[in-house]
Homo-oligomer: A and B are copies of this chain.
Amino acid sequence: MAQNTTRKAQQQDFITLMNELARAHHRFSLFDAEIHRLSGSGLTAPQAKVIFCLGNTDGLTCSEITDQTLITKGTLTGVIDRLEGKGLVERWGDADDGRIIIVALTRAGDRLFQREYPRYVEKLRTQVEGLSDREQATSYLGQIADLF
């Protein structure tokens, strides 16, 4: 009976934990989207992800971008189309392997990256400032990242 109560309490703890995770996740989405919206960069969150991962590189293939951003390949084509339409990235074929497309920042894209990336990091930092133990956070988040 007492054991049953304990199990129920543990189940409730777990559900509470998952609700917190889901809400944290959702708030992160909203916060992330809001940062980009308020920045006036004209980027959506997925577009910014792509720009940020292309920054300080000589270009990446679509597969590499997919690996880093977790954006599905079908979706990625559309995101890159829009960034290309804004003149922020350009595409060219790989010389060795005809199947591969290299995506890279244009000069305008690089200027945007140089301006927006530090701002983005700074806004996140401000939000996280209250964090008590950075090392614990790092190691724990690594675990969470591995779970999903």
Q: Which residues of A contact B (CB under 8 A)?
A: 11, 13-18, 20-32, 49, 69-70, 121, 124-125, 127-128, 130-132, 134, 136-138, 140-148
Instruction: Collect the chain B residues with CB atoms within 8 Å of residue A26's CB.
Output: 69-70
What are 12 A-B interface contacts by the 8 Å CB criterion? Answer: A11-B121, A13-B138, A16-B138, A18-B128, A22-B32, A25-B25, A27-B147, A28-B148, A30-B70, A127-B148, A128-B147, A130-B143
Instruction: Collect the chain B residues with CB atoms within 8 Å of residue A13's CB.
Output: 134, 138
Bound form: Cα–Cα A60–B13 in Å: 23
Q: Is the interface of A mostly helix, strand, loop or mixed?
A: helix
Instruction: Collect the chain B residues with CB atoms within 8 Å of residue A21's CB.
Output: 28, 141, 145
When the two chains form the complex, which single residue of B130, B140, B147 contacts A140, counting CB atoms closer than 8 Å? B140
In this complex, which of A23, A24, A69, A142 has the most chain B Cβ atoms within 10 angstroms of its Cβ? A24
* Known contacts A24-B148, A27-B70, A148-B24; A14/B143 CB under 8 A: no
Instruction: Collect the chain B residues with CB atoms within 8 Å of residue A29's CB.
Output: 25, 29
Bound form: Cα–Cα A147–B145 in Å: 18
Bound form: Cα–Cα A28–B23 in Å: 11
